């Protein structure tokens, strides 16, 4: 875990210094998940010794061997604010 301290610190600092939601999209062999990994009360804050980053939203795309869907992201127009800027949904491969 200590190898990730610098990147987590940077993510927290940049998120807290940005006046809008920040999205972290990741995945490889993971299954779909969406969460706020560094929000107030997260056990990761103690592990990394960081303050909370409540505006950080993580979306993990499904890349597991048994994946049945993909994630479709939609970016709103220039007038969108806050959480309206980005939305996502899982879509079955059959569509």
Find the domain containing 56 and state its range: 2-92
Number of domains in the chain: 1
pLDDT for the residue 1: 57
Cα 53 from Cα 43, distance rounded (Å): 13
pLDDT for the residue 68: 87
pLDDT for the residue 35: 94
pLDDT for the residue 28: 80
pLDDT for the residue 18: 94
Structure tokens at 46: 């103690």
pLDDT for the residue 39: 96
Helices (H) and strands (E) in the chain, counts: 2, 5
Question: What is the arrangement of strands in the sheet containing 22-26, beginning at the earlier edge strand?
Answer: 22-26, 56-60, 33-35
Instruction: Output DSSP code: residue 24.
Output: E
pLDDT for the residue 30: 83
Residues of the chain with pLDDT under 50: none
């Amino acid at each position: 875990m200590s190898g990730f301290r610098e990147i987590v610190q940077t993510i927290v600092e940049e998120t807290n210094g940005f006046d809008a939601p920040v999205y972290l999209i990741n995945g490889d062999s993971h299954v779909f998940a969406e969460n706020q990994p560094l929000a107030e009360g997260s056990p990761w804050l103690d592990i990394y010794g960081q303050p909370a980053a409540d505006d950080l939203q993580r979306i993990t795309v499904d890349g597991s061997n048994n994946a049945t869907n993909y994630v479709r992201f939609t970016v709103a127009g220039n007038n969108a604010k806050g959480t309206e800027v980005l939305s996502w949904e899982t879509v079955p491969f059959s569509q």
